[in-house]
């Protein structure tokens, strides 16, 4: 549960500000309230949050803010290493960030940068950042994403921060309902009906993100790299790929599909022979990694793994509705195609 000051205390703060104005003519005192973040810290924040800075894994943090419908409150640009068209949908949803200051480089965030953008609150997933931000006398809210359900906890925390619990609960309902919709069809599948799936960067022979073990299983597949690992990165060899013989391969971008089919080392793998190599979609973030778009990942993967079972699901319309309802952003048909085909960053 995230603690917010009671209505009575807000009323008391407002009454005090009115008394001060009447007695001195001074500007009203800005009301404040308390929020408990995901590190268990009690943080004093302004009653009205109009500007936030995102520090750390910026696109992930931004996706949380987008899902609250609060993209316009983001006060900083993406770090320079995330430049280029690959992150185009960050700018589609929050166009103002293109002209805003960069406050984070390869060396990390700067005190001067935080002071320059003067946010009401800093959002971060990095504990060291909190100490740095406190030097600017700016409140910092720590968000965490260790387990899949943490995304709902993070959204409820932002609901408290923005004083928009309704928006947070709307997202959480969509999250739960989408997973339930998929589970209603996949739970009855026999083990033999669940394809062996490899989510991979085949050039580097790595599995990019541990959360893929979750969404692959939820979508009715069996991840060949799911060995109970706790680390994020998973390295493997070509020999392991041949041993796993994945029936579906999911790569990180559209151009990697042709590379997979052209790789003679894995020509005998089932996914290659049966032409079942797919690029994971990418919108505000890569859907195979951590993103507020995760419910869409489940739907997309379920349809890719079990096309007949989900033939009635129109993924393009789900994307259109999700962006309109949560990100408050209208996508064109071409935008949706680019996202679903994993072509962000490609010309």
* 22 and 132 assigned to the same domain: yes
C-alpha 194 chain-centroid distance = 26
Evaluate whether 222 touches 305 at the Cβ level (below 8 Å). Answer: no
Give me the pLDDT at residue 232, please. Answer: 79
Q: What is the pTM of this model?
A: 0.87
* 117 and 235 assigned to the same domain: no
Evaluate whether 155 touches 179 at the Cβ level (below 8 Å). Answer: no
Q: Which residues in the chain show pLDDT less than 50?
A: 1-29
Radius of gyration of the chain (CA): 22
Q: Which domain holds residue 265?
A: 187-340
Evaluate whether 220 touches 298 at the Cβ level (below 8 Å). Answer: no
What is the tally of helices (H) and strands (E) in the chain? 14, 13
Beta pairing class for 42-46 and 32-36: antiparallel
* 148 and 261 assigned to the same domain: no
Model pLDDT for residues 211-220, shown as the tens digit of each residue:
999 999 999 9
Give every CB contact of residue 120 below 8 A, 6+ residues apart in sequence. 45, 46, 48, 49, 50, 51, 52, 138, 139
Q: Provide the domain count of the chain.
A: 2
Give me the pLDDT at residue 31, please. Answer: 73
Token pair belonging to 102: 């960069």
The domain boundary, picked from 163, 195, 228, lies at 163
Beta pairing class for 196-199 and 234-235: unpaired
> What does the alpha-carbon distance between residue 193 and residue 321 come to, in Å, rounded to a whole number?
30
Token pair belonging to 76: 């900083």
Give me the pLDDT at residue 347, please. Answer: 52
Residue 252's nearest CA partner among 280, 211, 233 is 280
Q: What is the DSSP string of 246-263?
A: -SEEEESSTHHHHHHHH-
Domain harbouring 63, CATH code: 3.40.50.1980
Tokens 């996202």 locate to 339
Evaluate whether 321 touches 304 at the Cβ level (below 8 Å). Answer: no
Residue 347's nearest CA partner among 87, 86, 95 is 86
Residue 180 lies in a domain: no
Residue 29 lies in a domain: yes
Give me the pLDDT at residue 173, please. Answer: 97
* 87 and 224 assigned to the same domain: no
């Amino acid at each position: 549960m995230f603690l917010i000051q009671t209505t009575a205390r807000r009323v008391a703060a407002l009454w005090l500000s009115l008394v001060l104005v009447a007695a001195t003519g001074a500007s009203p005192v800005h009301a404040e309230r308390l929020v408990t973040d995901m590190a268990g810290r009690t943080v004093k924040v302004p009653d009205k949050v109009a500007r936030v800075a995102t520090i750390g894994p910026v696109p992930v943090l931004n996706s949380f803010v987008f899902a609250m419908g609060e993209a316009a409150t983001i006060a900083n640009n993406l770090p320079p290493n995330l430049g280029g068209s690959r992150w185009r949908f960050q700018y589609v949803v929050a166009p103002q960030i293109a002209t805003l200051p960069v406050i984070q480089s390869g060396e990390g965030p700067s005190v001067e940068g935080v002071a320059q953008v003067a946010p009401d609150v800093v959002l971060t997933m990095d504990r060291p950042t909190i100490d740095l931000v406190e030097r600017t006398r700016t409140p910092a809210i720590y968000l965490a994403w260790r387990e899949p359900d943490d995304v709902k906890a993070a959204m409820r925390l932002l609901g408290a921060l923005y004083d928009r619990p309704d928006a947070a609960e709307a997202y959480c309902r969509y999250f739960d309902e989408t997973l339930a919709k998929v589970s209603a069809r996949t739970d009855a599948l026999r083990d033999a009906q669940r394809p062996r799936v490899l989510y991979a960067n085949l050039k580097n022979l790595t599995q990019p993100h541990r959360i893929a073990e979750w969404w692959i299983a939820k979508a009715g597949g069996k991840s060949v790299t799911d060995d109970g690992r706790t680390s994020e990165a998973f390295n493997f060899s070509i020999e392991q790929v041949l041993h796993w013989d994945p029936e579906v391969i999911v790569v990180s971008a559209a151009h990697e599909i042709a590379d997979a089919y052209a790789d003679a080392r894995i020509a005998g793998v089932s996914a290659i022979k049966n032409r079942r190599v797919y690029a994971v979609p990418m919108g505000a973030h890569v859907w195979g990694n951590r993103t507020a778009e995760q419910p869409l990942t489940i739907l997309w993967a379920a349809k890719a793994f079990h096309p007949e079972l989900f033939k009635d699901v129109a993924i393009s319309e789900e994307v259109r509705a999700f962006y309109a309802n949560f990100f408050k952003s209208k996508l064109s048909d071409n935008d949706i195609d680019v996202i679903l085909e994993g072509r962000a960053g490609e010309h």
